[in-house]
Amino acid sequence: MELLAPAGTLEVFEVAVEAGADAVYIGAPFFNARELARHFTLAEVAAMIDHGHKHGTRVYLAMNSLIKEDEVAKAVESLAVLEKLEPDALIIQDLGLYYLLKKFFPKIRIHASTLMATHNTMAVEKLAAMGYSRVVLPRENTIAEIKQITASTDVEIEVFVHGAMCFSYSGLCLFSSFQGGRSSLRGRCVQPCRRRYTWQGRGKAKGGSGYLFSMNDLEGIDLLPELAAAGVSSLKIEGRMRSSSYVGNVVRAYRMVLDGAPGDKGVLAAARHLLNNAMGRKSTRGYFPTSRPSDVLAPQHSGNIGIFLGKLKPGRGRLATIKINGPLIVGDRLRLHREKSGERQGFSLRKIKVGGAFVEQAAKGAVVSLELPVPAGPGDSIYKVDSAAGRGRPLGRGISPERFAGRLEELDVEGRVTKIIAEISGASRQAGAANLSAPLPGGSKTARPGRGGGNVPLPLWFRSDDPFLVKQRFPIMPERLVINLSGEAFNRFLRMKKSGPLFRRIVWALPFVIDEDKLSFFRERIAGLVELGSREWQIGHVSQSEFFKGLGCRLYGDYTLNVLNSLGARVLKENGLAGGLVSIENDRANLAGICRSTGDFRKGMTVYGFPALFTSRYSGPPMQYDRIFKSPRGESFLLRQAWGYTRALPTQPFSLLAELAGLAKLGLDYGMVDLSGHPLTGKVMEDIARGITGLAKGEKAVGFNFHRTLS
């Protein structure tokens, strides 16, 4: 198995190579899912590839951020240069980047990022058929599921074996974006899952507070024989923002076990000693042993990495006193955790004061005074995240970016970039001139008055978990009714008397995550519904199109396909989709760009709903379903279960109902009113009617990123 290490700096890269990594992954400039970290220059990337190859180490570039429409030209330019640098592979999630790579840069190997949520055999097989040479599985897969996946395909399978875990499936988290436009899918996550939350309620229902969704760190070092037997090709260590000491210790530990005799307890003990010095969080085997783990959360801890040094006693100004739980040296890297807000701030320790005198170091148990970057508050705590000892080592002579700066200027890519952009732009102009008004069977471009009366400028689709949606009184006649397929919904539908025009407008929707053991259930239900005449479907993952081969169905995409540029829509069309929802994270300007360039691909967008801010496989304590929880900033959210997964929903709806005329002018073809997770009531329909007409204020609603700039 390949041992794959992270690197966020030149120093860490060199340490990873020296420690024995078979491969190292680094962020590609501007388009990677660690955008909050420092960018590498192209000269640095070239130097690292050169250094790695000289030492027999493969170098992968993580270009795994979603790209906006106005970033496509920059992406083409980056790919043209990177092709010349000859990395061993690019790690991507964006379907638009996939389009560029397959059409214009076919020699570059591509790996499917874990952000693509490729979690079952059908999904892996689909991506393999699309030309991905490797798939990075979600951290939620069990070893048993991994074994089933590897047995079904020849494509390389990579799994995370060590490092941070997200509460949500990667690629399905909107929490950071919803709260402030900082998209985790674009590398800007502010980690709201690491904050303290409080359950709301009274009496017996009253709950406590804690770091309810903060995950422990994954550690699979004692499972390497099982992962090898399961057919894993690559073991990935998380941590492109971690220190050189962390990466060095972790890589050496795993290298030691991989090279040692299987089952050697002495080697494993020595490796664990190295891991203990890496200053990570409390460890867990994660989902490897079971899909229902009991030790992945530690709600009593803040989720900070490093050694917990203790709680601070605020002093005058920025001084604070603390009895330290571990040794300190001037120059150590510390992190201040602010209890009230949940914010974290890193800093280097400049001064240590013991008994009125300044010292260079202090032993565990000492009472010391520290100078903080900001004044401490009640309950604030300090973590040691890196040691000054051994840090700041000089770079080896093998990594010399200066040697490549001039050479990069000589790369002749301008002509090729211009040609590719011209070809894309020409296709976009053709698409923009295509017929955007072709009606769907049984529908029309302009919505008709419904039983509730009134015209709207944009056709609306209504979505629910309940097939009794067809019996509702709508404020306007829906163009389509979308029913989320589940066992309960299927059985209720079979019992219903299927009369009336709305039954012919049903589109069945598949969930975005389908566990391996649920594939047969969905195959059987799809076959049964198609036999009953259901020919229109909405899919949550690009691979789900495989369910419908040869069935003559019309397919649409859910917003979970994360279409943030028109090239991604082209990929969906090439894979048989007639249309779909663009990313719910879109802002107005980006949506306009997509609409100009996608032609007869029918573009929809969610215009009302309570979107899942995270979707997690975890369902144990301290989860309390159908309860509201509140952040330190006073934001309220609702915890629900759907399709067997834990989901956090906003308590106030996302609504663009007042924007329907503007959305139609932008070129959008339909809007989705998503009532998933909420009971069908007359009040809901009244609120939607008020939102459409603007006659009165309905519920307080938020516009997500539509009225701001998605970063």
How far is the C-alpha of 157 from the C-alpha of 94, rounded, in Å?
19
Predicted pLDDT at 440: 35
CA 318 to chain centre: 37
Predicted pLDDT at 644: 85
Asked if pLDDT for residue 447 goes beyond 50, the answer is no
Predicted pLDDT at 431: 66
List the strands of the sheet with 614-616, edge to edge.
Answer: 209-210, 197-199, 627-630, 636-642, 645-650, 614-616
pLDDT in tens, 349-388: 988 989 889 999 999 999 999 989 999 888 888 988 877 7
Eight-state DSSP code of residue 323? E
Predicted pLDDT at 201: 81
What is the share, in percent, of the chain residues with pLDDT greater than 70? 91
Residue type (1 letter), 557: G
Other CB atoms within 10 Å distance of the CB of residue 320: 22
Asked if pLDDT for residue 210 goes beyond 70, the answer is yes
pLDDT in tens, 297-313: 988 877 666 778 899 99
How far is the C-alpha of 1 from the C-alpha of 260, rounded, in Å?
13
Lowest-pLDDT choice from 109-123, 302-316, 519-533:
302-316
Rg over alpha carbons for the chain, rounded to the nearest Å, is 26
What lies within 8 Å, CB to CB, of 214 at 6+ separation is 167, 193, 194, 297, 298, 299, 301, 302, 303
Predicted pLDDT at 443: 37
Predicted pLDDT at 445: 38
Predicted pLDDT at 282: 86
Beta bridge partners of 321: 313, 369
Asked if pLDDT for residue 495 goes beyond 60, the answer is yes
Asked if pLDDT for residue 58 goes beyond 90, the answer is yes
Predicted pLDDT at 428: 74
Q: How confident is the model at residue 456 (pLDDT cuts 50, 70, 90)?
A: confident
Domains of the chain, first to last: 2-243+283-291 (3.20.20.70), 307-386 (2.40.30.10), 434-610+653-693 (3.20.20.70)
CA atoms within 13 A of residue 351's CA, in its CB half-sphere: 14
Q: How confident is the model at residue 465 (pLDDT cuts 50, 70, 90)?
A: very high
- 198: tokens are 């409080």
Asked if pLDDT for residue 426 goes beyond 50, the answer is yes
How far is the C-alpha of 562 from the C-alpha of 584, rounded, in Å?
8
Q: Helix (H) and strand (E) counts for the chain? A: 18, 36
Asked if pLDDT for residue 322 goes beyond 70, the answer is yes
Lowest-pLDDT choice from 203-207, 263-267, 675-679:
203-207
What lies within 8 Å, CB to CB, of 248 at 6+ separation is 15, 16, 18, 19
Contact indicator for 637, 650 with CB cutoff of 8 Å: yes
How far is the C-alpha of 290 from the C-alpha of 302, rounded, in Å?
25
Mean of pLDDT values over 139-157? 97
What lies within 8 Å, CB to CB, of 266 at 6+ separation is none
Asked if pLDDT for residue 520 goes beyond 70, the answer is yes
Asked if pLDDT for residue 22 goes beyond 80, the answer is yes
Mean of pLDDT values over 135-148? 98
